[in-house]
Amino acid sequence: TSDGNNETECLSSREKGETLNVCNRNSYTCDQCSKSFSRKGVLKKHKLVHVGHRFPCNKCAKSFSYKASLKSHQLAVHEGIKKYTCNYCLKTYSFKYELRTHILTHEGIRFP
């Protein structure tokens, strides 16, 4: 669009410290929560969150909005797969956010 909303959105994302590969002027915006996506297919998948469609785990009571999240959960929690390795001490983690938090301890940042 030519109304400048995409440009403003890109700028506000940069101000928050988020990394953007491309500020796409042809973004697709969810009409329910205003999240924007660079591809129509990703928006379509995102919209499942709003209709309550869930992907249940067959080994525990958890369910997920995305099939990929279910798969990640099953591999990490039920199969014990740890595919993220710390380059400092070689400890392994199931989830990327766990590794990121751990690496901060090597950099002198600790959480309560």
Assigned domain for 81 exists? no
Assigned domain for 100 exists? no
Q: Measured between alpha carbons, how far is residue 28 from residues 17, 20, 87 in Å?
A: 22, 16, 37
Q: Is 82 helix (H, G, I), strand (E, B) or coil?
A: coil
Assigned domain for 110 exists? no
CA distance between the termini of the chain? 45
What tokens were used for 71? 């798969």
Q: How far apart are CA 27 and CA 15, in angstroms?
A: 19
Assigned domain for 92 exists? no
How much is the pTM? 0.58
Number of domains in the chain: 1
Domain that holds residue 26: 5-51
> For position 49, what pLDDT does the model report?
86
Q: Could you report the per-residue pLDDT of 9-44, keeping only the tens digit for each?
A: 444 444 444 444 445 456 899 999 999 999 999 999
